[in-house]
Amino acid sequence: MLVTEDDENLRVAVEASLRGAGFAVDVAVDLPDADEALSVNAYDSVVFDRMLPSGDSLRYVETRRNAGWQVPVLFLTARDTVPDRIAGLRWGDDYLVKPFAVVELIARVRSLCRRGGSGQAPVLRLRDVELDTGRHEARRGGTLLILTAKEFVVLERLLAADGTPVHRAELIAAAWDELVPPASNVLDVLIAQLRRKLGQPPVLHTVRGVGYVLR
């Protein structure tokens, strides 16, 4: 994937976080750099800061879309008015306002990369539990579940494991961009909340000495 951001500190932080989540990342600091990268590489998704030194990346994406370009785009920007969002979603595929949680950026980029790679984002299911990675929605028995970004990421990992236990360390690495001390109970708290939201009968189980499993 390609990240285009002119703020060096943010660019380095986003690149490191996405690499830590398992993405192959190229970076560009302005539209000419991005244009050159896009001319020689095929990407599953592209993240654009909107306001770059050479102009608004939305206009650049609009021009490429009109020429038939279909790579999924996420705009990362401080511009948060409704007209800005509407314009961004007209020419892009997602729109995330600064400041943002890195874990949410990772979840959204993962969804866009799947869409770019297969043409359609997958829907993960276990019996009546369903997670639509494209719409970023989860349901049980057809009822929409109101999940936090971290809960969504953890549920996605558990569903993707297809009945195989997922280690605690893997879930923590997926949902928290910061280092979580081994003795921390943040994952336990999240799992308890997720169990409550998933309801009855229980499908989220503890595997002692390992982590958690959906079955």
Considering the domain architecture, whether residues 204 and 127 belong to the same structural domain is answered as yes
Domain with 114 in it: 2-118
Is there a contact between 6 and 94 (Cβ–Cβ < 8 Å)? no
Q: Which pLDDT tens digit goes with each residue over 70-128?
A: 889 999 988 888 888 888 888 888 888 888 888 888 888 887 877 655 444 467 888 89
Q: Which helix (H) or strand (E) holds 96?
A: strand 94-97
Q: Are strands 51-52 and 55-56 parallel, antiparallel or unpaired?
A: antiparallel
CB atoms within 10 A of CB 195: 16
Considering the domain architecture, whether residues 23 and 127 belong to the same structural domain is answered as no
Count of domains for the chain = 2
Domain C-terminal end among 54, 86, 118: 118
| CATH number for the domain harbouring residue 90 | 3.40.50.2300
Considering the domain architecture, whether residues 35 and 72 belong to the same structural domain is answered as yes
Considering the domain architecture, whether residues 15 and 53 belong to the same structural domain is answered as yes
The token pair at 178 is 């910061």
Considering the domain architecture, whether residues 9 and 114 belong to the same structural domain is answered as yes
Which positions ≥6 away from 189 have C-beta within 8 Å?
Answer: none
- Which range has highest mean pLDDT (17-21, 154-158, 204-208)? 204-208
| CATH number for the domain harbouring residue 164 | 1.10.10.10
The percentage of residues in the chain with a pLDDT greater than 70, rounded to a whole number, is: 92
- 184 pLDDT above the threshold of 60: yes
